């Protein structure tokens, strides 16, 4: 169990979230008294970066193409009619 003051928790929230997701119990205190606990959600487990990448690529492939590159689209947007 790790204990952090509100000020310390505010300064290092992303790392505290990572610790909680790894299973560590993180307690936040105010004036020495526990006021909050950060723990991993019991919902959907976090995806690995590879799983996230695969999900993103599958979603991208299912998306309907507009047939233009981003450069062509911007050129059409900014060209005079």
Residue 66: per-residue pLDDT: 81
Cα–Cα distance measured from residue 65 to residue 71, given in angstroms and rounded to the nearest whole number: 15
Residue 58's SS3 state is helix
**Average pLDDT for the chain:** 88
Q: In b/e form, how buried is each residue of 45-75, taking b as 16+ CB within 10 angstroms?
A: eeeeeeeeeeeeeeeeeeeeeeeeeeeeeee
Are 38 and 16 within 8 A, CB to CB? yes
Kindly tell me if the per-residue pLDDT of 6 is higher than 90.
yes
Q: How many domains does the chain have?
A: 1
Looking at residue 20, which CATH number applies to its domain? 3.40.1620.10
Query: In this model, does residue 12 exceed pLDDT 70?
Result: yes
The pLDDT tens digits for 32-51 are 999 999 988 776 666 678 88
Q: What is the pLDDT of residue 46?
A: 65
Residue 7: the pLDDT is 93
Name the residue range of residue 23's domain. 2-78
């Amino acid at each position: 169990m790790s204990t952090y003051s509100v000020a310390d928790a505010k300064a290092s929230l992303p790392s505290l979230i990572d610790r909680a997701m790894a299973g560590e119990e993180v307690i936040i205190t105010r004036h020495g008294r526990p006021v909050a606990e950060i723990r991993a959600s019991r919902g959907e487990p976090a995806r690995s970066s590879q799983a996230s990448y695969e999900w993103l690529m599958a979603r991208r492939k299912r998306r309907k193409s507009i047939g233009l590159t981003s450069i062509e689209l911007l050129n059409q947007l900014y060209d005079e009619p």
